[in-house]
Each structure stands twice: as structure tokens, then as C-alpha cells.
Amino acid sequence: MTPIPPDQAARRAAVEFAQSLVANWQAALGIELLGVYLIGSLVHGGFSRRYSDVDMAVIAEAGLRAATMERVRGEAAARSAE
Amino acid sequence: MFWADRHFVIGRFPPLDRIDYLDRPLVLLERERLRPARPTLAEIRAYLRGAPFANWAERARSFAAAAALDAKDRKPYLRALLYPARLCYAYTTGRMGSNDDAVAFLHERPPAGLDVASLEQALTCRRAAADPDPLFALRSVLPAQVEACAALIGSSQ
């Protein structure tokens, strides 16, 4: 079996990680949440396991409050450390 | 992270990232697809001439004056080396491209005074996910890269 290139494996893991955060956004925003997307190198190519960021875009009816962002960021950081 | 309200009036969603959202998002959840106005080339250029250029120029000059590369600065250093590629590509074309796209474009259409060879070296390092320490000597080209980019964005407002 051909091994998966490291950047490709990392990209897959990053997408799965982002998908796992959607539930947090839903819990935090409820029906205010209009969409959650990935953009950037995860989508248009050139993702680097070392140098790329995970660029997530969140659209909500009235935007995001600082407290909501902090809460979801904290949950993401905790999950990232697992 | 980028975010906006329904009307894309409040939030943090710069023009190039908005183009990325319009053209090729990977949908994780969608209740309603919103389509904000597509940023014009003039808007993209005005944005790039502002904080993105100023912040990069400051970092580039700081790295150029540094005596050593701290481990914590490896990622920002490689980004500082590569940023002129993204800046010149986006400024010229109005498109959001990968680092690979940008460096390939600059091979064909290098702005006056821009050192494309150093961009190529940085891109090779990025692709290999390697430490940029062997490229630390390239910090000496950064002030000239800043000048080349300043000339580009100053000449086509």
C-alpha cells in the first residue's frame, strides 16, 4: 500500500479537527449560526503540516461576541491538546 | 479565524479571505449561503497597502537586524521570507493563491528589484516542512524585498 504523504495526512487530520468543532459552534450559537467553512491552504492546496494555519470562517446572524469566540477557542485548544 | 455577520458588515473577514470564501470554501455546516459583494481589485490593493504590508515590513526589518534565529521565530521567519510572493501575486492579480502559485507567477513576472531566488528557497523549505535555520543568511535580502514591494504597491495605486 502506498503511504500517505505527510502533508496529505496532516490536511486530513486538520479537516477532521475542524469538523469536530462545528458542534461547539452550534452549541454556542444555536440558530444564529449560518455557516462554518474552511478556507485557505487547506482548501486551495499547498497545505503544510508545519507552516499552515487552519483557516476557519464562521458566519452568524449578528456576528460573534468576544465571549463566544473565547469559549469556542478554549474548547478548540483543549481538543487540540488531546 | 474569520467571522462576519449576515451582512458582512461587522467581523474580521479581509478582502482576500472573502474571495476565498466566495470562490472555494469547504463547507462544514451551512444553513444559508450568503454571498457578500466580491472585493474589487482596488479594495484588495488598498487593503494590502495597509496593515499587511506595514506589519510584514516591520517583521522583515526586525529579522534582518537579528543576530540569531530563535526556535520560536522559525515559523514567522519563513513566513516573512515568503510573504513578498503572496503580496505581489495578490496585489497584481487580485487573486488568492497558494505560495506555489505565487512563486510560479513571480518567475514569469518578477517585479523590479524582487529577489525571486530567495522566495524559491523559502518555498522549498516550506514544502519540506524543514527548519529555516539554513536560510537565516537570507535575512540580508529582506530590506531590499521590502523596498521592491513598496515600489510595486506605490507605483500602481
CB pairs under 8 A between A and B: 117
- Domain extent listing, chain B: 1-39, 41-155
Chain A hits for B13, CB-CB cut-off 8 Å, are 57
Chain A hits for B124, CB-CB cut-off 8 Å, are none
Q: What is the spatial distance between Cα B89 and Cα B101, in angstroms, rounded to a whole number?
A: 8
Q: How far is B19 from chain A (nearest CA, A)?
A: 10
Higher-pLDDT residue of B104, A75: B104
Q: What is the spatial distance between Cα B58 and Cα B78, in angstroms, rounded to a whole number?
A: 15
Per the structure block, which three cell numbers stand in for B29? 455546516
pTM of this prediction? 0.91
- Model ipTM? 0.91
Q: How far is A74 from chain B (nearest CA, A)?
A: 13
- B72-96 tens-digit pLDDT: 999 999 999 999 999 999 999 999 8
DSSP string, A9-72: HHHHHHHHHHHHHHHHHHHHHGGGEEEEEEETHHHHS---TTT---EEEEEETT---HHHHHHH
- B96-127 tens-digit pLDDT: 889 999 999 999 999 999 999 999 999 999 99
